[in-house]
Amino acid sequence: MHADNLVFLIFVIFTGAAVLATVALYARQSLIVAYILLGALLGPHALGLVEQVALIERIADFGIIFLLFLLGLDLDPQRLLPRLGQALHVTLLSGLAFAGVGFAVAAGFGLGWRDALLVGVAMSFSSTILGLKLLPTTVLHHKHMGEVIISILLLQDILAIVVLIVLQAAGGTGHVGSGLLRTAVALPAVVLLAVLAERYLLYRLLVRFDTIREYIFLVAIGWCLGLAHLAAAAGLSHEVGAFIAGVALARRPIALYITDSLKPLRDFFLILFFFALGAAFDPAALDRALWPALAAGGALLVLKPWLFSHLLRRVHEEAALAREAGVRLGQVSEFSLLVALVGVQAGVLGQTAAEIIQLTVLATFVVSSYYIVMRYPTPIAVSDRLRRD
């Protein structure tokens, strides 16, 4: 692609986002919804001003990587590990229930058992991006909420990676057992390497040159992307590597400065992510997937907040915290889009089932983000009373 075309893409996306965001704020709507609608409007299936959706998606992947890195920076492992047992209980029980709902809806609309099963699996995850993007990180919002949500999302992401390995193996690209074994070996190896490199090299460099802000900024980005690439080469994912890179630095005081420095960079790429999500939607899929997606999305938007709240109260969380965490986890995940893509590529998922997953993700993103922004503290709240960063 010529540089002029790329400049035009960025111009159209961010100028359009600025205009539509202004309209959304006056209308007291969520900015995330504005970005998704802008993508649907300017994408190849509508006005066609932006046709290189695949390119935008690849660039937007950096937003997810930086988001996971900043998530790790906010997590001191000594605080997180004691909560993993409770999170595992909540994650497994809720995942089975949501998968059952997705399977029942898909089967009820005539899909075969295999397609229905994969639709159900895709419905069991909540969005890491929305969960973290809409969660305040300052002391104005208590840290315990973040620990609860992050521990659940972390376990869900690990389960999603396992599902992707199984799908790839089912499509003839590998063996399930060897893939899982590779993950079991690679994860602790990457963690150990990150801990050693941070302790004996990275932190000493940051302390030595801590007065040079540009250097800290560059080293933080290099550390994040380096661990992301290492994890991907080891058979994990870029996002897992970025998360490990953040956690390795989380106990250091400089983590707070790095978090503040990288937030604008994260937001730049996440705007592209939500734009690409809307641009990839094909209105032709409405004929085949609209009613199943509305049924699944409507059921999950009601069931997810209620069940998460119930399960969190069972593990002795306060009622108010449990209700809010349930709402913040009340959508379907971007990992579900990846499950649909890999399933179709592997030949184990039909096109209609994939479209149901995609439309359900889009619908729950819009409704859930709107409700959260209007009711709970978020960095992009329309109300000054609820705006927290």
* Residues 260-305 pLDDT 10s: 888 888 888 888 888 888 888 788 878 888 999 999 999 999 999 9
Is 381 a domain residue?
no
- Picking from 39, 69, 38, the residue whose alpha carbon sits closest to that of residue 57 is 39
Domain that holds residue 335: 3-375
Rounded to an integer, the average pLDDT of 325-342 is: 88
Which tens digit of pLDDT belongs to each residue from 86-110?
A: 888 999 999 999 999 999 999 999 9
- Mean per-residue pLDDT, 201-227: 90
Residue 387 placed within a domain: no
Phi and psi angles of residue 211, each rounded to the nearest 5 degrees, phi first? -90, -10
> What is the rounded end-to-end Cα distance, in angstroms, of the chain?
36
pLDDT of residue 261: 85
How far CA 225 is from CA of 29, 174, 231, 280, 374, in Å, comes to: 34, 27, 10, 26, 34
Q: Please count the other Cβ atoms lying within 10 Å of the Cβ belonging to residue 373.
A: 25
Residue type, 37: L
Specify the pLDDT at position 151: 85
Residue showing tokens 């229930």: 97
Angle between helices 53-73 and 238-249 (to 10 degrees): 30
Q: What per-residue confidence (pLDDT) applies to 173? A: 52
Q: For all residues of the chain together, what is the average pLDDT? A: 84
In this structure, of 4-13, 159-168, 193-202, 247-256, the range with the lowest mean pLDDT score is: 159-168
Q: What is the CATH number of the domain that holds 131?
A: 1.20.1530.20
Residue 136 has φ and ψ, to the nearest 5°, of -60, 150
348 within domain boundaries: yes
Q: Can you spell out the DSSP letters for 3-36?
A: HHHHHHHHHHHHHHHHHHHHHHHHTT--HHHHHH
pLDDT at 61 over 70: yes
State the total domains in the chain.
1
The verdict on residue 132 lying in a domain is yes
Nearest to 164 by CA among 356, 358, 345, 371: 345
Alpha-carbon distance of 248 to 199, in angstroms, equals 9
Is residue 380, in this structure, part of any structural domain at all? no
Q: In the chain, which ranges are continuous DSSP H helix?
A: 3-26, 31-42, 53-73, 77-80, 84-108, 113-123, 128-133, 143-170, 176-197, 203-208, 213-233, 238-249, 254-279, 286-314, 319-328, 334-345, 351-375
DSSP state of 127: -
Residue 313 lies in a domain: yes
Q: Could you tell me if residue 59 is inside a domain?
A: yes
Amino acid present at 173: T
Q: Is residue 384 part of a domain?
A: no
